[in-house]
Structures are given as structure tokens and as C-alpha cells.
Amino acid sequence: MTGDYTMEICAQSFILYYKSRLFDLMEDKLEKRIANWITIIADCLDVTHAVYYKPQQDNNNRNCFEHSFSKQPFDFPKCISTNTLQAIFIESDYVGHDILSMHPQLSIFNSAFHLKYNEIEKGYLFLHANEDKLSEFVSPNVNSFIYESGKTIQIIEKQSDILNEEGRYKELFRVTEKFHSSMDVDIVLNEIIKALKKVFPYFTYNLLLSNDSKHDKTLPIKELQLDHIDGAVMDSYVSGEIRIEKICTENHTILYAPLCGKQGVYGVLEVATSASFVFQNSEVEFIRLLANTGGSAFENAKLYEQSQTLIRDLQLINDTSHRLNSSTSLDETVQFLKSQIKKSFNTDDIGFVLLKDTEFTILNGSNSVFLSEVGKKCVEFIAENIRVKKEALLYSNIQNQLADETIPFSSLMVVPMIESDSLKGFCIVSHSIPYYFTFDMFKLFQSLIHHSTLAITNSMLREELERMVITDQLTQLFAKGFLNDEIKQSMEKDEEGTFILLDIDNFKKVNDTFGHQTGDEILVQVANIIQQNIRSSDIGARWGGEELAIYLPGASLKTGSQVAHRLVEAVYKNTKPKITVSCGVSYWNKKRKDQVESLFNRADVGLYHAKERGKNQVVIKEDKSPF
């Protein structure tokens, strides 16, 4: 209809005409209905300016414009306070220019309507319309005009609410499908936030989680520290129900929705908006359903992750146990276990400590930090605790225990190695970051060490047995058989070598004079002097009775002679009761054919000649290569 036609409409039929136009309005797209409604009014009343103000849900002290209409640009207030509107409409729901002119910002309008429907406020309509049409059509029917307009807005809002709710449930259906198609915790959490942002784009969100897992850093996650929360958060977490609180000091209204699964509550979804916002029942229900569905999906994803972790952990323990049980040496066992620990826990330093009485020994293969002064201080502190408690220890920040800023690590896991109820030692793992090790990591570490202790103990026993086989029990020097084998290997791989055969002079007299116990002590003293005067690569052995032998692989005859003379002198100076020794020295090299037996025989002849010449001296017997 056109403006000219409405001029012919009598006052009695105006409302019917207006209602018919509003009926046609329902065929328009929902998002255009408010704009088209104002266009109808503008058409009927020859309006030049129109503004529709609507109460704001997030601020109940003002009404802001929802839509405006104008045939030319004009200025109008974007929001009007509730107090101002109450003052304007204090006597009537319809006012004219005489009242509006009292408010400079609103003087551009010549009519305004307080729109209601069934006493429910729907908004305010301000117009600059044709005065004659206002007088002829509206004034006689103002209540009907307000009623029909309010009813129209009510219908539009209801349909909008239905569509919004439909959209929310479609989003809930979508996100539920996504939950069921994924077993990834971060994907579940991302979908929760994504759905909220789509439905409530102007809210802010946080996920307050009670677990210690690591998550996508882009997620708005806060740690839910149960010993530091109170109020509505704690109430929601404990009760498993939604809680809403207003924080006036921060101008916030916050809704807390627990993430519930079948086995427990895993955290709380925090939804924040302005302090004056009032959550509608449908909105609360949507958030509740989303949180419950998300909580169940989170639980399933966590259980799946835990099952996968358990499978990996069991595989690790099985592979480690199988490999360790096939290891032949302690060093090999320690090195393999160290590599498995480093791979599984991404640790900085790993140490293996053996305990015996009040002493401790740090095994080869341990990181050097435990051999430093501060490292040994830490090991000693832990050893004292392990001896008392005999149980695994987890330190979130060891520096708080030792009060030493020089300690290069903070987090520690310590697990005792116990075999047949006997404490053998412990394994220690460190990291520079405090609170680095999780409880799940701690449990895995305990299981790994418990399953590895037998292999470590067996390796130690095997090496101890091997050492006993090749070691003389009294002197702790090597046995003669081991010396023979080492010389044979040396003759295959080295260029030369020197052999020294040493005999304690007048040993029978020592035994007869001081007793066999003292004789044994003399043998130990001489053995210790030998160990102090040879290289780690040299081999000292007990040849038999009071005879001792030394083999110097790769040493020239000159070097061997110097060692023999040094030993003769050292024995005389450092034994008690004072004794002397005689030495026979022999030598070999690659330039000539030689045999181990010939090397021994030449040294034995040299020793015999040393005895003949008065003892306490060295005789070199090397016929084939003059000295």
C-alpha cells in the first residue's frame, strides 16, 4: 500500500489495515521482520525518522536501539537510560512532541510509544511522523496500536527464540557427533569452547581442570587447585551441579558448569559475562547439556589415553625386562636401563647408587652431576631417607629440602632397589623444572625399577663371581690363570711387554718368627704396594705362595726394570715388620718369536739369580735382547 491510499482509510479501519500488514510481515525472513515492521509503520504514518529501542539483556539500566529508519541522515541517541524513559512515560505509554522536546536528544521526534504485550515490556518506538495521520489514525487507537505492535514483537521474539534454541541443539548434536568420533582429550576440549563461542560469541570462557595432564596451550585452561578454591567453583565441582554467582567488584556474572563423567567430575566450565546479565533457563540447560556431554567425552578420551599409556608402559617394562635378563655385564645393564629411562621420562640426569652398611657407591654409567660435590651431598641426603623408609620418594622441589641454591635440579624421583627384602641401592632421576614429574610417571618409574632390580642384582652377582674366580682372596690381586690369559692376549695385540716375578725374601723365617697371620699381613702389604706402583692397565697377580707377579703390557724393558727397582725400594721402606723382595724381569716384543712359557722361565731364572746374589735386588734375564 502507498501513503496516498492510507489517507483514505478512516480511523476505525486503520487498526485492521495495520494488522493485515503485520500478518503479511510473518512471511518475511525472521532477521528482517523488525526492519520491515518499522517500514510498515513509516508507510502508514508517513514517517521521516524512526528508532526502535530494546531493553538490553546484559545491562538492565538502559535500552539500546535495535533498528532505525530514516529518509535522510539524522542523529539520535544510541542508548537511553531506564530512568530517562520512566520519566518520559510516567503518565502514559504514548507521548507527543511537547514532552519529547524537554529532552534535547529526543526533540527530533514528535511521538513515542512504550510497547507492551500482556504487561511485558517489549521496547520503545520513537517516530517523527505526519502530525495529521498521528492525530487521525493513532490517537483514537493508541492502546490498540501499542498492543498490536507489542504482540508482533512478541511473536517475532518467540520465533527467534525457537530458532536460536534449534540452533543451539543443532550445535549440541554436531559437537556430540564430534565427541563420539574422537578419542583425543584436546579435541574434546576444543569442541566445547568452539560450541560456546558459536552460540554465545560475547561471553568469555575458561576450563578449570583438576588433572595434571598437559594440553594444547591455545586452550583457555586453568589448573583447578582443590586446596585453593572456594565458593561457587568448589560447590559446583563437589555437587556436580551448575552454580551462578555475581561478582560485583569485577562487574561479572559467572556460570560454573561441572564436566561430569560416569566415574567423577573432571573439572568445571567457567562462563563469564557482565554482572547484570540474566541467564535464561534455555541457555543454562544448553550449557548443562554441553558440559555433561563434554564431561563424558572427556572421560572416555582420558580412559582411552590411559589404556594406551598402560599398554606402552607394559610394553616398555616387558621389553626392558627381557633385554636386561639377557645382559651379561653390569655396565651393559646400567647403560640399557639408563637409555630406557631417558627415553620414557625425558630426564636430565640418571644415577644408580649401591648401598652397603653406611656407605654408598655411585655406579659407572651414572651422570657426572651425581659425582660432583653438590651431587654427592644430594645422594647422601637421599640415601639416609631410603635406608629409613625403604620406599620410593618423589620430590617436587628438592631445593626446599636441602636449601642449597647450587643444586642443578629440582624435581627428583627415587626408587629403592630391593631384592629378597634386602635394600641393594636406589635409582635416582632428576629434572631442572620443579613439579616436572607427574604421579603417573612416578608409578611407571617404580614399576620399571622393581622389574629391573633382579637383573641388576644378577649382573652384580655374576661380576662378583667372575671377580672371585680371577682374584686371589688374600691379596686381592689377580689369580695366576687370569694373568696367563691376559699375557697371551697382549702378545697378540701389543708390540711389547715386560714381566716381573717377585718373591718375598726369607718368608719362612717371617712365618716362623711372627706367625702365619703376620705372614699373611706381609703378603697383603706387598700386594698393596704393587697396586700403588703400577698403572690401571697393568696386571698384578699372586703367582703362588710368597711369589707375586706383575705384567706391564706395552712397556719396554727399561720401563719394566724401573718399576721393579721402585718396588724393591718401596717394599723395604713401607712394610712392617720390615722385609725385602727379590725380582726377576723378562721381556718380549714382536720382532722375534716368543712364548708365554719362555717369558715366565726367563723371569724365574732372573729371580733365582737375584736370590743367589744376596736378595733384595732386581735381575734382568733377557738373553735374546740385551738391555
Give the pLDDT band (50/70/90) at residue 1.
Answer: very low
Q: Which of 78-82, 176-180, 512-516 has the lowest mean pLDDT?
A: 176-180
Residue 129: predicted pLDDT:
94
CATH code, domain carrying 211? 3.30.450.40
What is the mean predicted confidence (pLDDT) over 61-72? 86
Residue 308 has pLDDT above 70, yes or no: yes
Q: Are residues 86 and 124 in the same domain?
A: yes
Summarised one tens digit per residue, pLDDT across range 7-32 is: 445 666 888 888 888 888 888 887 88
Q: Is residue 473 part of a domain?
A: no
Separation CA 150–CA 141 (nearest Å): 14
Q: Are residues 32 and 157 in the same domain?
A: yes
Which residues are registered as beta bridge partners of 356?
359
Q: Are residues 9 and 124 in the same domain?
A: yes
Q: Is residue 90 part of a domain?
A: yes
What is the mean predicted confidence (pLDDT) over 520-530? 93
Residue 470: predicted pLDDT:
62
Residues 6+ apart with CB under 8 A from 536: none
Q: Decide: 235 and 243 in contact? Cβ < 8 Å.
A: yes
Give the pLDDT band (50/70/90) at residue 463.
Answer: low
Q: DSSP string of 10-46?
A: -HHHHHHHHHHHHHHHTTS-GGGHHHHHHHHHHHHHT
What is the mean predicted confidence (pLDDT) over 516-540? 91
Q: For the chain, how big is the Rg over CA atoms in Å? A: 48
Q: Are residues 501 and 436 in the same domain?
A: no
Q: Is residue 310 part of a domain?
A: no
Q: Is residue 317 part of a domain?
A: no
CATH code, domain carrying 570? 3.30.70.270
Separation CA 123–CA 63 (nearest Å): 8
Separation CA 588–CA 496 (nearest Å): 5
What is the mean predicted confidence (pLDDT) over 312-338? 69
Q: Are residues 105 and 219 in the same domain?
A: no
Report which listed range, 164-168, 213-217, 254-258, is most confident. 254-258
First-to-final CA distance of the chain:
134
Residue 466: predicted pLDDT:
56
Q: Decide: 478 and 539 in contact? Cβ < 8 Å.
A: yes
Residue with more model confidence, 526 or 331: 526
Q: Are residues 12 and 157 in the same domain?
A: yes
Q: Is residue 263 part of a domain?
A: yes
Residue 374: predicted pLDDT:
82
Q: Is residue 412 part of a domain?
A: yes
Q: Are residues 491 and 570 in the same domain?
A: yes
Q: Are residues 156 and 187 in the same domain?
A: no
Helix, strand, coil proportions of the chain in percent (round to 5)? 50, 25, 25
Give the pLDDT band (50/70/90) at residue 357.
Answer: confident
Residue 159 has pLDDT above 90, yes or no: no
Q: Above pLDDT 90, what percent of the chain?
A: 31
What is the mean predicted confidence (pLDDT) over 384-408? 81
Helix residue ranges per DSSP H, 200-280: 231-239
Q: Above pLDDT 70, what percent of the chain?
A: 89
Residue 228: predicted pLDDT:
59
Domain boundary among 248, 273, 304: 304
Q: Based on the structure, what is the number of domains in the chain?
A: 4
Q: DSSP string of 74-112?
A: ----SEEEHHHHHHHTSS-SEEEHHHHTTSGGGTT-SEE
User: What torsion do the CA atoms of 185, 190, 191, 193 make, to the nearest 10 degrees?
Assistant: 130
Q: Are residues 393 and 537 in the same domain?
A: no
Q: Is residue 316 part of a domain?
A: no
Residue 333 has pLDDT above 80, yes or no: no
Q: Are residues 378 and 428 in the same domain?
A: yes
Cα–Cα distances in Å, from 572 out to 80, 401, 529, 532, 617? 113, 52, 10, 15, 11
Q: Are residues 45 and 149 in the same domain?
A: yes
What is the mean predicted confidence (pLDDT) over 46-61? 81
Summarised one tens digit per residue, pLDDT across range 78-100 is: 999 888 999 999 999 999 999 99
Q: Decide: 276 and 58 in contact? Cβ < 8 Å.
A: yes
Separation CA 355–CA 425 (nearest Å): 5
Residue 5 has pLDDT above 80, yes or no: no
What is the mean predicted confidence (pLDDT) over 461-468? 58
Separation CA 242–CA 222 (nearest Å): 18
Give the pLDDT band (50/70/90) at residue 3.
Answer: very low
Q: Are residues 123 and 198 in the same domain?
A: no
Residue 52: predicted pLDDT:
95
Residue 328: predicted pLDDT:
60
Residue 459 has pLDDT above 70, yes or no: no
Q: Decide: 22 and 37 in contact? Cβ < 8 Å.
A: yes
Q: Cell digits for 376?
A: 654427592
Residue 324 has pLDDT above 80, yes or no: no
Looking at every residue in the chain, the average pLDDT score rounds to: 84
Residue with more model confidence, 458 or 282: 282
Q: Is residue 359 part of a domain?
A: yes
Residue with more model confidence, 573 or 347: 573
Domain that holds residue 556: 480-620
